[in-house]
Amino acid sequence: MKTITNLLKSALAAGVMAVATLGVSNPVQADELDAIKESGVMRIAMSGAYPPFSFVNEQNEVVGFDPAIGAEISKRLGVEVEIVTTAWDGIIGGLLANKYDAIVGSMSITDERKKVVDFVGPYYRMSRGIFVKQGSDVADLAGLKGRKIGVTLGETHEQWAQEQEGWDVRTYKGLPELLLELDNGRIDAIVTDDIPVLLAIRENVNAITQLDTSGLAGIADQAGIAIRKGNPELHKAMQAALDAMQEDGTYLTIAEEWVGGDIR
Amino acid sequence: MGLDFAVVPEYLDRLLLGSAWTIGITLAAAALSFFGGILFAVIALYAPAVIRWPFKTFAWLFMGTPLLLQLFLIYFGLIQIGIDLPAVVAGIIGLGLHFAVYNSDIIQAGIRAVDKGQYEAGRTLGLSQAQTIRKIIVPQAVRAVVPPIGNNMIALLKDSALVSVIGVTELTLSSQLAISKTFRPFEFYLAAAACYYVINLALEAGLHRIERRIQVAR
Amino acid sequence: MDFDLILRVFPYFLQAAVVTIELSVYSTAFGLICGALGTYARLSRHKLLRAVGTAYVSVIRGTPALIQLFILYFGGPQIGIQLDAFEAGVIGLGVNIGAYMTETMRGAIVAVDKGQTEAARTLGLSRSQAMRKVVLPQAARLMIRPLGVNINAQIKGTALVAAISVVELTYTAQRYIGSTYKPFEMFLLAGALYMVIIYVVGLGITFLDGKVALR
């Protein structure tokens, strides 16, 4: 619960804002591992709209594979975990802006992202899937020409879809909206990681089918945990925690609980 | 991470295209809110109770909830009951109806201010009720309330940023697209703010001219 | 319509409504401070201060509140401002509504100013005394209703902070949609709670307005 202290903090921050234009430079910081341990909390971010990897249950708690992995890593670093949900298209911006310490949010590791953040992991393997509504007249990739294709803004699949010739690409804020819109018939196909959609199909949430895209090369991706650059100690500690939980079986337990199998 | 405005020019064409969409959406929604506002005002004052009360409830709902929520409901909610609107149309309708309700309030006050005497005079001259309202009362009322309606249109311009959340690639979403590629929020949001400010100045100047013309006409 | 689901999630929407109320209260308080400072600047005899006040009102009212929030929250750290989402929401919304409140307050003061100040000055009061003892008490009464309109707008404006991930009513609805796929129900529930908040605040303002008008 927010209190008067927050209000005072806000007022103080406003003062800071007033002088910030005079030019304040960030002091050079030591490795953030120390700062995290000192505060006793690691803040991890995810979209919260990506079941079963991260979603909100009926008790309004953020749960899923990603929060479980993040919590386990925090536990092994000896700190508490704090989960932040934020829109996917601003999630790296938020990390760079120090809104949280890591993104444990099913983010695929790409060269472009590596230019701005470091990755711990990979912690699971994902591949691109293209899905259409059951009974759709689209039978293969070629059939997608001139159709409306839904993607999540800021995902690797968005850029890939934009590069395809003749696709009418629509951007959305997350997978739930994509599934809603596919179901509505506003879009003809969606491009996304396949596991969450395959699970949704298995649970009969949506009447959709996957297009056979076996002809596509290089569509497998790896999910990593993003942290700010310049933190070798934090990277090392998180990687060690991740490796250890994979060895002692904790990882597998988590994967089986949320995804129903090993996804390495 | 400091500031680097050199990244902005590469995306300038997209920001300008986004600005064009923002202007288009604003003008369309402003027109809807203006004529909708007149219609709502007439309904609220003259329609039989059976029409008036459902309408008043509707207006009350629109005034009591956030525009953001209304846009979500119109775009993602209505399709659940079979009403499929493209995002741009949903955005224009949402903005237009929201401000029509506010304009209606202003126009009602304007109508009340001219109503007395004029109404009876119109009827005495042999005009029907509808004719009196349409030809005598509404034109005078609207003229009197142009400045506050203009303020609503300026508010509408700024609230058009909200349609970015339902996926309309106007100015705000255009800058977000650029940010998702460059990870430079400050530069692009500032650039977007500058674009809005310029559009806002142009809109204010336009409204000012209309106001002056109406004053001359009176 | 899934009423069962609505009933199950209702307690969590109530919690979110509390966050919306907190945001409204703090940002309105902050906005009143900004509005008072803005009014002071706008009515000042110092040219520079007047220019600052005018620029504040013009820039803030000339750009969308959503963009202002984004600049503060996402862009702020680039220039050394580090705020969490709630703080950014309170400050961003407060600075925004403050510009509108500046115009409301200034309008009310200007409305009583003419003649009254001169009369007070003739009676031997200083400029600041005239303002404090004659103009402001009258202006304060004129302000309540229009400030109420500002506050009403502010409550609805708090929905914007969903975009910077404060878990208030609108973002709560959005998050639930992510797992329930029931947009209609979730938005209706959130909308109903906004109505209740706005209705109660509206009653309060009418009561306050009635009180001062009677004097």
**Cβ A128 vs Cβ A219: under 8 Å:** yes
**Cβ C92 vs Cβ C68: under 8 Å:** yes
- Bridge partner list, A42: A81
With 0-12 / 13-18 / 19 or more C-beta atoms within 10 angstroms meaning exposed / middle / buried, residue C126 is: exposed
Predicted confidence band of residue A199 (pLDDT cuts 50, 70, 90): confident
- Bridge partner list, C45: none
| Residue whose token pair is 């200083």 | C126
Element (H, E) at A198: helix A194-202
Q: Give the C-side interface with B, CB within 8 Å.
A: 59, 61-68, 70-71, 74-79, 156-160, 162-163, 170, 173-174, 177, 183-184, 187-188, 190-191, 194-195, 198-199
Q: Is C179 close to A174, i.e. CB distance below 8 A?
A: no
- Give which of C67, C152, C205 to mutate to test B binding, by max B Cβ within 10 Å: C67
With 0-12 / 13-18 / 19 or more C-beta atoms within 10 angstroms meaning exposed / middle / buried, residue A22 is: exposed
Per-residue pLDDT at A149: 94
Q: Is C194 close to B64, i.e. CB distance below 8 A?
A: yes
Per-residue pLDDT at A206: 67
Sign of the alpha-carbon dihedral angle for B205, B206, B210, B211: negative
A19, pLDDT greater than 50? no
The parts of chain C modelled with pLDDT lower than 70 are 213-215
Distance between CA A60 and CA B54 in Å, rounded?
35
Q: Using CB atoms, which residue from B77, B162, B179 is nearest to C183?
A: B77
A25, pLDDT greater than 50? no
A237, pLDDT greater than 90? yes
Distance between CA A92 and CA C77 in Å, rounded?
13
Q: Using CB atoms, which residue from C16, C26, C175 is nearest to A85?
A: C175
Mean pLDDT value across chain B: 90
Query: Chain B contact for A183, CB < 8 A?
Result: no
Token duo for residue B72: 């979500």
- Give which of C74, C179, C180 to mutate to test A binding, by max A Cβ within 10 Å: C179
Which pLDDT tens digit goes with each residue over C159-206? 999 988 899 999 999 889 878 888 889 999 999 999 999 999 999 999
Per-residue pLDDT at B14: 92
Task: Please report how the helices B12-46 and B171-182 are oriented relative to each other, as an axis angle in degrees rounded to 10.
Answer: 150
Query: Chain A contact for B4, CB < 8 A?
Result: no
Per-residue pLDDT at A5: 57
Question: What is the residue-wise DSSP string for B193-218?
Answer: HHHHHHHHHHHHHHHHHHHHHHHHH-
Query: Chain B contact for A184, CB < 8 A?
Result: yes
Predicted confidence band of residue A18 (pLDDT cuts 50, 70, 90): very low
Predicted confidence band of residue A214 (pLDDT cuts 50, 70, 90): low
Per-residue pLDDT at A8: 52
Q: Is B64 close to C199, i.e. CB distance below 8 A?
A: yes
- If phi > 0 it is left, if psi is from -120 to 50 it is alpha, else beta; for residue A120 that is beta
Distance between CA A51 and CA A106 in Å, rounded?
11
CA distance B153 to chain C (A): 12
CA distance C37 to chain B (A): 23
Sign of the alpha-carbon dihedral angle for B32, C157, B163, C92: positive
Q: Give the B-side interface with C, CB within 8 Å.
A: 1-3, 61, 64-70, 72-73, 76-77, 80-81, 154, 158-162, 164-165, 172, 179, 184-187, 189-190, 192-193, 196-197, 200-201
Distance between CA B177 and CA C69 in Å, rounded?
17
Q: Using CB atoms, which residue from A86, A98, A179 is nearest to C181?
A: A179
Sign of the alpha-carbon dihedral angle for B71, B76, B79, B80: negative
Distance between CA A145 and CA C60 in Å, rounded?
44
Among A24-28, A88-92, B88-92, C123-127, the minimum mean pLDDT is found in: A24-28
Residues from chain B that touch C159, judged by Cβ atoms under 8 A, are: 66-69
CA distance C209 to chain B (A): 20
Per-residue pLDDT at A29: 57
Segments in C62-161 forming alpha helices (H): 65-70, 85-122, 127-129, 136-157
Mean pLDDT of A164-181: 87
Residues from chain C that touch A11, judged by Cβ atoms under 8 A, are: 30
Q: Are strands A168-172 and A148-152 parallel, antiparallel or unpaired?
A: parallel
* Sequence-separated (6 or more) residues with CB below 8 Å from residue B209: none
The chain A residue lying nearest C173, using CA atoms, is: A60
Q: Are strands A62-63 and A54-56 parallel, antiparallel or unpaired?
A: antiparallel
Instruction: Kindly state the greatest CA–CA separation across chain A.
Output: 62
Token duo for residue C153: 């707008």
Which pLDDT tens digit goes with each residue over B152-207? 999 999 999 999 988 898 999 999 888 888 888 899 999 999 999 999 999 999 99
Q: Is B1 close to A96, i.e. CB distance below 8 A?
A: yes
- Give which of B158, B159, B168, B170 to mutate to test C binding, by max C Cβ within 10 Å: B158
Per-residue pLDDT at A3: 52
Mean pLDDT value across chain A: 85
| Chain B: partners with 3+ C-beta pairs within 8 Å | A, C
| Chain A: partners with 3+ C-beta pairs within 8 Å | B, C
A11, pLDDT greater than 70? no
Query: Chain B contact for A89, CB < 8 A?
Result: yes
**Cβ B140 vs Cβ B53: under 8 Å:** no
Distance between CA C157 and CA C97 in Å, rounded?
9
Per-residue pLDDT at A141: 84
Mean pLDDT of A253-264: 90
Per-residue pLDDT at A204: 66
- If phi > 0 it is left, if psi is from -120 to 50 it is alpha, else beta; for residue B143 that is alpha
Distance between CA A191 and CA A163 in Å, rounded?
13
Token duo for residue C36: 């008072």
Per-residue pLDDT at C92: 97
Q: Using CB atoms, which residue from A92, A177, A186 is nearest to B183?
A: A92
The pairs formed by A255-260 with CB atoms below 8 angstroms and a separation of 24 or more are A255/A65, A255/A124, A257/A68, A258/A52, A258/A53, A258/A64, A258/A65, A258/A68, A259/A52, A259/A53, A259/A65, A259/A195, A259/A199, A260/A199
A23, pLDDT greater than 90? no
Report which of B149, B205, B194, B140 is spatially closest to residue B15, judged by C-alpha positions.
Answer: B194
A14, pLDDT greater than 70? no
Q: Is C178 close to A13, i.e. CB distance below 8 A?
A: no
Per-residue pLDDT at C213: 66
Query: Chain A contact for B79, CB < 8 A?
Result: yes
* Sequence-separated (6 or more) residues with CB below 8 Å from residue B93: B32, B74, B85
A81 SS3 class:
strand
The chain C residue lying nearest B72, using CA atoms, is: C187
Per-residue pLDDT at B102: 93
Per-residue pLDDT at A230: 92
Token duo for residue A241: 């925690």
Per-residue pLDDT at C111: 86
C65, HSE (Cβ side, Cα atoms, 13 Å): 31
The pTM (predicted TM-score) of the whole model is 0.85
**Direct distance between the N- and C-terminal alpha carbons of chain B, in angstroms, rounded to an integer:** 58
* Sequence-separated (6 or more) residues with CB below 8 Å from residue C58: none
Give the number of residues written for chain C: 215
| Chain C: partners with 3+ C-beta pairs within 8 Å | A, B
- pLDDT means per 10 residues, chain B with 218 residues, are 84 95 97 96 92 90 90 87 90 96 93 83 88 88 88 94 91 90 88 96 93 75
- Bridge partner list, A82: A43
